[in-house]
Amino acid sequence: MSTSEIDRQWTTRLRRRVEGKLPPEKLLPDTQPTYVSSWIYVFGIATMCSLGVVIGTGCILALRGPQWWHGSDYGHFINSMHLWSVEIFFFCMVIHLWGKFAMAAWRGGRALTWMTGVVTFLVSIGAGFTGYVSQSNFDSQWISTQAKDGINSTGAGAYFNVLNMGQMLMWHIVLLPLGAIVLTGMHVLMVRIKGVVPPFEEEAETEVAQ
C-alpha cells in the first residue's frame, strides 16, 4: 500500500485529527493554571464523582430488584445511597453551573463545552424525574398520576407515558444514564481541548500582550 493511500484512509485521518486536537499532555495534563486553585473549580469533579456513585448504586439496585430495595436493610441502605448521591450530584452541578455562568465560561470558543454541560443538566433532570416514577411504591404512583396531566397537555403523552412503569424504568436505567455519561465524557473532553476558561482579567492581560 502506498503512502498516499495510507494518508487517505479514514483511520489515519481520524487518528491524526485526534492527535492534533488532543495530544496526551492535553488529555492528562500535569499542571493547571494558577487561577484553577479555587474551591469553585472543585464542584465539576465533585459532580462527576457523585455521578459515579449514582451509577454504581443504580447498578446494584438493578441487580437485586424492587423487592430487595424495599424489603431489606441492605437494600434500603443502597436505595438511600442512590437517592443521596443524586442529591449531591445536583447540588454540586448547580453550584458548578452558577460558577461557570458568573465566569461566562462560553468565552474563547468554548460554546460547545457550555452547551454539552447545559444538555447534560437537562438529561439529568429527565433521569431524576423518571427515577421518581420508577420507585415502584405509592410515592411513584402519586407522582406519575400527577405528571400525566402535564405531559398529556403537551401532546407528548402518546410517546412518553409516565403511567407506563416499564417504559419509564427503561428511560431511567438505559437511555438517560447513557445520555448523561456520553455527554459528561464529551464535556470533559471539550474542557481538555479548550482548557479551563481564564478569569476576565487574565483574558484581558493576554489580549493586551498580544
Partner 1 sequence: MAFLLSFAALVPLNNLGHYVQWHFLEISVANLMVIVLMIITFVVALLAPFPGRRRRKENR
Interacting residue ranges for partner 1, rule: CB under 8 A:
34, 37-40, 42-43, 87, 91, 94-95, 98-99
Cβ 95 to partner 1, closest distance in Å?
5
Q: Quote the CA–CA distance of 178 and 127 in Å, as a whole number.
A: 10
SS (H, E, C) 14-68: HHHHHHHHCCHHHHCCCCCCHHHCCHHHHHHHHHHHHHHHHHHHHHHHHHHCHHH
Cβ 89 to partner 1, closest distance in Å? 13
Cβ-based neighbours of 57, under 8 Å, separated by 6 or more: 78, 79, 81, 82, 85
* Distance of closest approach, residue 93 Cβ to partner 1, in angstroms: 10
Beta carbon nearer to partner 1, 40 or 151:
40
Quote the least distance from Cβ 42 to partner 1, whole Å.
Answer: 7
> Rounded to whole angstroms, how far apart are CA atoms 124 and 61?
18
Q: Which is nearer to partner 1, 35 or 68 (CB)?
A: 35
For partner 1, give the closer residue by CB, 79 or 179.
Answer: 79
Closer residue to partner 1, CB minimum distance, 59 or 83: 83
Shortest distance in whole angstroms from residue 87 CB to partner 1: 8
Counting every residue written for the chain, the total comes to 210
* Residue number with CB closer to partner 1 (31 or 154): 31
Question: What one-character DSSP code corresponds to residue 2?
Answer: -
User: What is the DSSP secondary structure assignment for residue 157, as one 8-state letter?
Assistant: G
**Angle between the 138-154 and 111-132 helix axes, to the nearest 10 degrees?**
130
Residue 199 DSSP class: P
Shorter beta-carbon distance to partner 1: residue 12 or 206: 206
Q: How far is the CB of 17 from partner 1 (least distance, A)?
A: 34
